Structure 1
Amino acid sequence: MPFVEKLLMLIMAAQVLLTLGLLFWMGSERVPRVMRGEIPVADIAVERTAYPLKARLLSNSFDNQFQLPILFFVGALLALHLGAVTWVEAILALLFVVLRYVHAAIHVTTNRVEQRFAAYTLGLAVLCLFWLWLVFKILLAPSI
């Protein structure tokens, strides 16, 4: 397997690591409170408002990892499947994942909406470039 394909897979793993890290961090904020009886299960069965702010921010950030990143994973898997991975895809993928980390960090700390929106928008732009480049390559390369 070429190095650049391995690199793309490691970048994908970094996105998975972010998602799992947020899941475990969220669990460490939620589960002990429920286990100690601070938050009744009935209060969280339908919505999250009973949780403290930090737990809600972590939950929202975790949920967000199932929005744009899904499009990233589909594109990355398509590139791997077609054998169409070059340094362009790897660099765009890395930029996207770095911006996801930045977005998540803002989300679970200061939660400054303007900064979070900027990180989200930059990530979206990089993801669009990733997909445009991939589609361009597929359409122009009959051997893929």
Structure 2
Amino acid sequence: MIYDVIIVGGGIGGLMAAIEAKTPANRVALLTKGNLFKSNSALASGGINAVLNPYNTKDIQSHIDDTTKSAYGLGDKNNIKYMCNQAPSIIKKLTQYGVNFDKDESGNIAQRSFGGGSVRRTCFVGDTTGSQITQTLIKKAKEVGVTFIVN
């Protein structure tokens, strides 16, 4: 079989890339070394940090500052800024794919403090966030026609 796009890696990043690359005109294969449910992404339990009010630039700057501090200054500042600015749209996309993040009493995505954050900004699915996201993305990838090749 000939593929138009080949994604290497079956974690959350690889699964999302495969889903996004799949169009009616593109044959997409996702190559993974082993069991998709044993990836680092699938085993992660904490959550994903995102400022869910992207118009609050103070909160986004705080997210950037916390991430830079947690990386002990080793992270590329432009990449950290990009990641923090994109995080809300990633959470929205994951929700559209069917990830059922925990909700607060108002029905909004619940956020908790986690991993060195100065404020609550971690979106989560109980204590199985990585597993739930991975399962949802595998289902979505299959629905859109991504081919899985497991070594």
Q: Which has the higher helix share?
A: 1
Q: Which has the higher strand share?
A: 2
Structure of higher RCO (CA pairs closer than 8 Å, 6+ residues apart): 2
TM-score, with structure 2 as normaliser: 0.28
Q: Which has the larger radius of gyration?
A: 1
TM-score, with structure 1 as normaliser: 0.29
